[in-house]
A and B are shown apart, each in its own frame.
Chain A
Amino acid sequence: MKRNHLTLKIFCLIVLNDLIDTLAQVLMKKGLVQTGIDSVNLGNIVQFAVKNASSPFLWLGIFVFALNFFVWIVILYKVDLSIAMPVGSFCYIFVPLCAMLFLHESISLIRWIGIICIILGIHFVAQSKKPAEAELQANG
């Protein structure tokens, strides 16, 4: 029987997927900032596109995105979409926690409550009935 519940290995894959996604976003943002164009309008959109296309950061970002797509497909091969999606919200807590640890930003009480909600939510989703258990219960 094909397993479709969350294991530690798949959980780690999903977290890895989140981390790579964040890296790709940072790379693309770096590429965008390097163009030196603050606001894009019809007049400079071609110049903006050309400058972007010649930035190695943008292409690196796109490459990393494509790489991440394969990680995501492997995750979906192994686990239900309705499990992979909520567990993927891990990045919402990863970024502020990193900002606190490495950039010494402070986290407000409301955000701490939000972080706890997300962790609890992921915990509950991971606890949702495993197929084998559900079958046992149906038979017993």
Chain B
Amino acid sequence: MVKIILLVLLSEAITVIGQILFKKSASNVGIYNLKIGGDRIRFLSKILTLPSLWLGALAMVIGLVVWLLAIAQGDLSLVFPIGSLQYILVLFLAHKFLGEKVDRMKLVGTLLVMAGIVLMSVS
């Protein structure tokens, strides 16, 4: 049980780091007007050259493998509620590393989403 909880937490942490790296890549790619077809291609070809994007993709793959290990052994009604902790982790890390603003609305909304996921998975 403790092993499964740790696996889920590890998977969440790695996945969230992957998301942070994705967001960092998207922020560093420059300014494009995605309404224009040519700009869309330039946007995609530029972002695919960023190391942070590939590091993020690697993190996502590792996170997925750890997640599969967890759900292969654990009860989903345990794995999903613990997994919902990633939402609060994202809020915290996005504030710390991406400088995103966290106001009361965002915090309350995120906690409600987490509560909803817990209710959906225990019943």
Contact = CB atoms under 8 A, between A and B. Distances in A.
Nearest to A110: B123
Interface in A64-102: 70, 72-74, 76-77, 80-83, 85-86, 89, 92-93, 96
A125 B95 CA distance: 15
Contacts of A29: none
| 10 nearest A-B residue pairs (beta carbon) | A124-B109, A121-B112, A114-B119, A117-B116, A118-B116, A125-B109, A121-B113, A114-B120, A128-B106, A110-B123
Interface string B108-123: 1111111111111011
Interface string B31-44: 11010000000011
A82 B120 contact: no
Contacts of B82: none
Given A89-B117, A108-B123, A131-B101, 8 more contacts: A73-B25, A96-B120, A111-B119, A117-B112, A118-B117, A120-B109, A123-B109, A125-B109
Give the size category of B's interface with A: 35 or more
Contact of B120 (A73, A111, A124, A134): A111
A2 B28 CA distance: 13
Report whether over half of chain B's contact residues are helix, strand or loop; otherwise say mixed: helix
A21 to B, nearest CB: 12
Contacts of A42: none
B100 A128 contact: no
B47 A82 contact: no
Given A73-B26, A76-B22, A77-B34, A83 B106 contact: yes
